[in-house]
Structure 1
Amino acid sequence: MTAMTPEEAKVTAWLADRKDAMVALLREMVDTDSGSYDKEGVDRAGQVLARFHERNGLEVEIIPDGRYGDAVKARLPNPTANDQRPVLLLGHRDTVFPKGEPTRRPFTIKDGRAYGPGVADMKAGLVIEAFVAAAFAECGGLSAPLTMLTTSDEEIGSPSSRPVIEAAAREARCVFNAEPSRLPAGSDFTRADLRGAVE
């Protein structure tokens, strides 16, 4: 394994120092209702992320949708990069849960594990992505522009956000999605799922 560059070490140290802030953002996201058909709730969860991005120096664009929640796109430009295609961090804010589920089952941590509606699918992944973007905004070290796109209707097949996702993916040099795979019962390995639309 090669040693980290000074920039990588700086980003890693910055992230390691922010566990409490990560948990606080995850709590706020999980305790915000955001079922796929709850436009108001999904938009509220989007505003939580938009405020986080703005506080951390990213440019935020809200892509409105009249039926489902709006998409939120945050950008970290890099005008000195030779290749202006961004690294795309992709995810969704909607959950499968009915309105009121966070009230019935709010965010909790027990024995070092987080619980609550949407923790795994995929609000913890969004927190990871948001903090990675914030780390590069604060520390530098990324040799490309970065974009984070969060959508609102993945759990119902992305009926409105699919064109937004495809447009962002076409512009990107690569795409990362922090949605976890399911581990088969009793397994002790992780697998990588490759998903998406290819044309």
Structure 2
Amino acid sequence: MLEDLRTLVEIESPSRDLDALAASAEAVATVIENRLGGQAVLIVNEGGTHVHWAAGGEPRLLVLGHHDTVFPLGTLARRPFAVADGHVTGPGVFDMLGGLVQAVHGLAVLGDLSGVEILVTADEEVGSFSSRALIEERARTCGAVLVFEGAADGGALKTARKGCGAFQVSIAGRASHAGLEPEAGVNALVEAAHQVLDIAALSRPELGTTVTPTVASAGTLENVVPAEATVVVDVRVESGAEKERVEAAFAALAPHADGARITVEGSIGRPPMPESAAAELFALAQQLMPGIGAAAVGGGSDGNFTAALGVPTLDGLGAVGGGAHADHEYVVIDAMAERAGLAAGLVKAIKDAPRA
């Protein structure tokens, strides 16, 4: 597993870098073919190169993951793949190349893989806009989904996720000389400040809803009334009702200043993943690994899409470790074989169960 993980980590795969993603997809396909046989199909579209492998037979189970990472090219030179003190480190080891390797090696110990499919996408970290339709199609066809994103704290499985999305609020004002005639302008920065307060007030922490302005920009020079400003907002919700409320509130944002204009783009693209979607599969996992924990988390994954379809979905089956998206990202080596064994047990149990 460490050999295969090194192979994947050392081919950097930042989201939106189509050439890098193509090379990474080839490496993922090779690892799958070397360990499981058969032929992986590369699916190229505007989001990158996705990898699909199917064992044949009636589809019963989709193993789901992604090979894109958040780290720019050149990160590997600064933070190379390394094994030390019981940890493996390097860009993408925890989110989520370690999980991919564990899934493949878990499947490799099973003699019969009929009905099993693997889908490894190239744009999960940036919203899965080019892969969502494919993910949903294969999930519906297979009827059960195992997601190999990194585990929650302590190795817990992820049985619920918040829905998440981003909005960009653009404010158009009117420029003027800040000293000679500031009153002739419409200050987009001041309008943005009002909007930030209105937007932040949409949060409902008691309902699990967070609405967080995260990036803002405005102005050109110190002596010019700003004509333009933008505010980017991160949104997380636990329910469909809150998704609808927040999206409607963004659509209804109105300017405070006469002459200012507001444009809103974005949505809550990943629907919430309810605990009910994972209940059946988590019960199987508990039988295979008594004492394993469950966690509801704020981050989204492609499991949000499959769970929203009503397809049984269990997430967080990947590497035990931490530091996703950070320089200290790591995987606990001693847990890798155990998690691969859990993957094998779950796949066998799902395949052997009577189909409803």
TM-score by length of 2: 0.44
Q: Measure how far apart 1:159 and its partner are.
A: 1.1
Q: SS in structure 1 opposite 2:128?
A: coil
Structure 1 CA distance for aligned equivalents of residues 104 and 43 of structure 2: 18
Q: 5+ residue gaps in structure 2?
A: 161-272, 274-303, 310-356
Structure 1 CA distance for aligned equivalents of residues 142 and 54 of structure 2: 12
Q: Which has the higher contact order (CA 8 A, sep 6+)?
A: 1
What is the aligned counterpart of 1:99 among 66, 69, 73?
Answer: 73
Partner of 2:158: 192
Q: Measure how far apart 1:88 and its partner are.
A: 0.8
Distance 1:135 1:77, change over 3 A: farther
> 1:61 and 2:35 equivalent?
no
Identical aligned pairs, as a percentage?
A: 35
Q: Deviations over 1:112-155 (max 9, x none)?
A: 1110000000000010112223333xxx145x411010000000
Q: Which has the larger radius of gyration?
A: 2
Distance 1:40 1:133, change over 3 A: farther
Partner of 1:27: 6
> 1:42 and 2:21 equivalent?
yes
- Provide the aligned length of Structure 1 versus Structure 2: 164
> Would you say the 8 A contact 2:82–2:90 is kept in 1?
yes
| Aligned pairs for 1:119-130 within 5 A | 119-130=93-104
Q: 5+ residue gaps in structure 1?
A: 1-21, 79-83
Q: Measure how far apart 1:46 and its partner are.
A: 1.1
Letter in 2 for 1:157: G
What is the aligned counterpart of 1:156 among 120, 126, 136?
Answer: 126
More displaced 10-residue stretch of structure 1: 117-126 or 102-111: 102-111
Q: SS in structure 2 opposite 1:193?
A: strand
Partner of 2:89: 115
Q: SS in structure 1 opposite 2:159?
A: coil
- Give me the CA root mean square deviation: 1.7
Partner of 1:16: none
Structure 2 CA distance for aligned equivalents of residues 189 and 38 of structure 1: 31
Q: Deviations over 1:58-83 (max 9, x none)?
A: 23211111x322110011124xxxxx
Q: Measure how far apart 1:190 and its partner are.
A: 2.4
Structure 1 CA distance for aligned equivalents of residues 102 and 82 of structure 2: 18
Letter in 1 for 2:137: A
Letter in 1 for 2:6: R
Partner of 1:19: none
Distance 1:102 1:119, change over 3 A: same
Letter in 2 for 1:105: R
Distance 1:145 1:105, change over 3 A: same
Structure 2 CA distance for aligned equivalents of residues 46 and 152 of structure 1: 8
Q: Measure how far apart 1:189 and its partner are.
A: 6.7
Distance 1:28 1:77, change over 3 A: same
Q: SS in structure 2 opposite 1:74?
A: strand
Structure 1 CA distance for aligned equivalents of residues 47 and 120 of structure 2: 13
Letter in 1 for 2:106: V
Partner of 2:50: 71
> Would you say the 8 A contact 1:88–1:148 is kept in 2?
yes
